[in-house]
């Protein structure tokens, strides 16, 4: 057996020629004394006996590939720089939309560079001059508060440099947390910032990345609607996307293309670049004209928690957050918690109520509903009224628990606790997160 490299083949692209003349091309994933295991381009593995191998040709060594990747520029400018076209900046943060299948492991990994995305979707250059920047390459479940601040800084930099809008490629798992965070951090935003993701990696034929990305760019070009939005599939079909307000979006399915839905409101728009059609459903109500863009960041050192109520929860679970600055509680129904003793089996409820009463003296406790759709109303039943009496906030809110968490974190980062309580800032509408009147005709999940 001839091996031109005489090095480990793991992670390298190779061609193996067997003694019977067969050639097999793939990526080396394992090697022992008897076999070399290759991952083929179709995703299948094949084991080849070393004694049957005539020659091994190494096409690309793993070490050289890494060096090449590290030298790639983090920013690329594409398009004709046509003065008749607007400039759109694309900020890449990773996620499935910027991922490909790693045939060494079979997993989906974030690997694409800015130039890769533009080359895969050349239609973007028909819509606008494109500036593409790599901010990070990671999955959204690994994000922390610091990432939101970093993203906001990158957005401001692009808009200040003359871009008419920004697209952020993002993992879908926590995209609605990010869209809410950016909505609050970007004070005075008068241009569109659109987050896009994909449920299937961009190198797959079944990927939903193209539709979401191209429709986001088309929406920015045609409307210049100010605010932070999410652009994802309207249905399971590859025809239209919907534009969802950043503070009213939620991922409602693990894998469907139309996983994201507007909660307690309507979509801003329905978009089809293929049909050259945009249907405006609901305009952004925030007045930003004439305002200067500034950043009101979230302080990662402030401690805010999220706790879901359930039958059998104990007072110790609430007391865990006693030293936190804020706590969002997902109550049941209209905003209820098990705080009333009905019989000898529910004595723990009294201890929960006492724990909450003591905590509320220094920790801001905000109610949200785990029903997702609808509005909190703690005035209706006695458990809710008892919670209001001890200072639980959030009455009449129709925010999702995720937006409630991000908003409370943002409020505690930019206002005093006294101001938040005195001025009812939790239920004050800053970025369209609180609707004035519940919309009975909002989209239900996964029609």
Beta-carbon contacts of residue 163 (< 8 Å; ≥ 6 apart): 87, 88, 89, 131, 191
- Is the per-residue pLDDT at 60 higher than 80? no
pLDDT band at 33 (very low <50, low <70, confident <90, very high): confident
Residue 243 in any domain: the answer is: yes
pLDDT at residue 64, rounded to an integer: 47
- Residue 70: inside a domain: no
pLDDT at 446: 52
**Do 269 and 356 sit in the same domain of this protein?**
no
What tokens appear for 347 in the block?
């004595």
**Whether 428 contacts 359, CB under 8 Å:** no
pLDDT at residue 159 is higher than 90: yes
Using DSSP's 3-state secondary structure scheme, residue 63 falls into helix
Taken in order 366, 370, 373, 377, is the CA torsion positive or negative? negative
Q: Which of 35-49, 224-238, 326-340 has the lowest mean pLDDT?
A: 35-49
CATH number, domain of 385, equals 3.40.50.40
User: Does the predicted TM-score (pTM) go above 0.75?
Assistant: yes
Statement to judge: residues 143 and 191 lie in one domain: yes
The verdict on residue 136 lying in a domain is yes
Identify the domain containing residue 31 by its residue range.
Answer: 2-65
Q: Compute the distance between CA of residue 406 and CA of residue 432 in angstroms, rounded to an integer.
A: 14
The dihedrals phi and psi of 62, each to the nearest 5 degrees, come to -60, -45
Tokens 């994000």 appear where? 143
Average pLDDT of the chain is 86
Is 173 a residue of the active site?
Answer: yes
Give per-residue pLDDT as tens, 248-263: 999 999 989 899 999 9
The pair of structure tokens assigned to 406 is: 């991000």
The angle that helices 145-160 and 175-185 make with each other, rounded to 10 degrees, is: 60
Catalytic residue among 76, 169, 172, 363: 172
What's the CATH code of the domain at 150?
Answer: 3.40.50.1170
DSSP string, 379-446: TSSHHHHHHHHTT-B-TT----HHHHHHHHHHHHHHS-HHHHHHTTGGGS-SSS-S-SS--TTPPPTT
Q: Is residue 439 part of a domain?
A: no
Residue with tokens 């049957």: 52
Question: Does pLDDT of 217 surpass 60?
Answer: yes
Q: Which of 295, 327, 344 is the last residue of a domain?
A: 295
401 near 335, Cβ under 8 Å? no
- Same domain assignment for residues 362 and 249: no
Question: Last residue of a domain, which of 264, 295, 326?
Answer: 295
What's the confidence (pLDDT) of residue 372? 93
Please tell me which residue, 140 or 245, carries the higher pLDDT value: 245
In a domain, 435, yes or no: no
Position 121 scores a pLDDT of: 74
- Residue 411, pLDDT > 60, answer yes
- The H or E element spanning position 244 is strand 241-245
Looking at the structure, tell me whether residues 167 and 276 fall in a common domain: yes
For residue 432, tell me if it sits in a domain: no
Across 203-217, 261-275, 361-375, least confident range: 203-217
Cβ proximity of 195 and 179 under 8 Å: yes
**Catalytic annotation, pick one of 221, 234, 248, 251:** 251
Question: Are 285 and 350 in the same domain?
Answer: no
User: Catalytic residue among 27, 76, 93, 96, which?
Assistant: 96
Quick one: pLDDT at residue 83? 85
Strands 23-31 and 35-39: antiparallel
Q: Is residue 381 part of a domain?
A: yes
Asked whether residue 65 carries a pLDDT value surpassing 50, the answer given is: no
DSSP 6: -
65 or 385: which leads in pLDDT: 385
Domains of the chain: total: 3
Q: What are the residues facing 78 on neighbouring strands?
A: 130
- What tens digit of pLDDT does each residue of 361-403 get? 999 999 999 999 999 999 999 999 999 999 999 999 999 999 9
Where does the pLDDT of residue 12 fall: very low under 50, low under 70, confident under 90, or very high at 90 and above? confident
* Catalytic status, residue 96: yes
The answer as to whether 323 is a domain residue is: yes
E-state strands within 252-392: 260-262, 269-272, 277-280, 294-295, 304-308, 326-331, 364-369
**Which residue in the list 102, 173, 238, 358 is annotated as catalytic?**
173
Does one domain contain both 24 and 118?
no
Looking at the fold, whether 336 and 277 belong to one and the same domain comes out as no
pLDDT for residue 316 is more than 70: yes
Residue 374 sits in the same domain as residue 418? yes
CATH number of the CATH domain containing 11: 2.30.30.520
Same domain, 160 and 54: no
- pLDDT score, position 81: 74
Same domain, 28 and 86: no
Q: Mind listing the pLDDT tens digit for each residue in 71-130?
A: 445 556 655 578 889 999 999 987 656 555 454 444 444 555 666 666 667 788 899 999
> Do 157 and 15 fall into the same domain?
no
3-state SS class at 217: helix
Same domain as 182, residue 240:
yes
- What is d(CA 36, CA 110) in angstroms, rounded to the nearest whole number? 27
- Has 251 been annotated as catalytic? yes
């Amino acid at each position: 057996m001839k091996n031109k490299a005489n090095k480990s083949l793991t992670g390298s692209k190779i061609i193996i020629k067997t003694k019977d003349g067969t050639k097999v091309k793939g990526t080396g994933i394992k090697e022992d004394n008897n076999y070399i295991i290759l991952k083929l381009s179709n995703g299948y593995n094949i084991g080849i006996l070393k004694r049957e191998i005539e020659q091994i040709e190494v096409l690309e060594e793993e070490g050289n590939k890494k060096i090449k990747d590290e030298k790639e520029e983090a920013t690329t400018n594409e398009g004709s720089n046509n003065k008749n076209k607007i400039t759109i900046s694309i900020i890449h943060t990773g996620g499935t939309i910027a991922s490909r299948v790693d045939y060494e492991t079979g997993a989906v990994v974030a690997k694409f560079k800015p130039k890769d995305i533009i080359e895969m979707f050349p239609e973007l250059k028909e819509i606008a001059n494109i500036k593409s920047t790599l901010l990070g390459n990671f999955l959204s479940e690994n994000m922390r508060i610091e990432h939101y601040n970093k993203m906001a800084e990158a957005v401001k930099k692009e808009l200040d440099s003359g871009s008419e809008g920004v697209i952020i490629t993002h993992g879908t798992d926590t995209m609605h947390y990010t869209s809410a965070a950016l909505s609050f951090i970007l004070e005075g935003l008068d241009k569109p910032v659109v987050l896009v993701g994909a449920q299937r990696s961009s190198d797959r034929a079944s990927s939903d990345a193209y539709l979401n990305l191209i429709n986001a760019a088309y929406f920015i070009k045609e409307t210049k609607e100010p605010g932070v939005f999410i652009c994802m599939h309207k249905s399971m079909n590859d025809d239209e996307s919907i534009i969802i307000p950043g503070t009213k979006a939620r991922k409602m399915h693990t894998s469907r293309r139309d996983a994201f839905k507007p909660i307690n409101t309507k979509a801003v728009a329905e978009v089809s670049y293929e049909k050259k059609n945009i249907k405006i459903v609901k305009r952004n109500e925030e007045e930003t004209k004439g305002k200067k863009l500034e950043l009101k960041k979230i302080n990662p050192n402030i401690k805010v928690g999220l706790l879901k109520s359930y039958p059998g929860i104990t007072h110790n679970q609430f007391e865990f957050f006693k030293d936190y600055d804020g706590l969002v509680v997902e109550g049941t129904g209209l905003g209820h918690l098990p705080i009333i003793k009905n019989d000898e089996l529910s004595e723990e409820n009294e201890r929960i109520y006492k724990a909450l009463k003591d905590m509320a003296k220094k920790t801001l406790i905000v109610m949200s509903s785990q029903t997702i759709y609808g509005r909190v109303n703690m005035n209706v039943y006695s458990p809710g009224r008892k919670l209001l009496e001890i200072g639980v906030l959030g009455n009449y809110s129709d925010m999702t628990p995720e937006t409630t968490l991000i908003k409370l974190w943002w409020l505690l980062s930019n206002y005093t606790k006294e101001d938040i309580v005195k001025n009812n800032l939790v239920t004050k509408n800053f970025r369209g997160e609180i609707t004035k009147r519940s919309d009975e005709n909002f989209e239900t999940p996964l029609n």
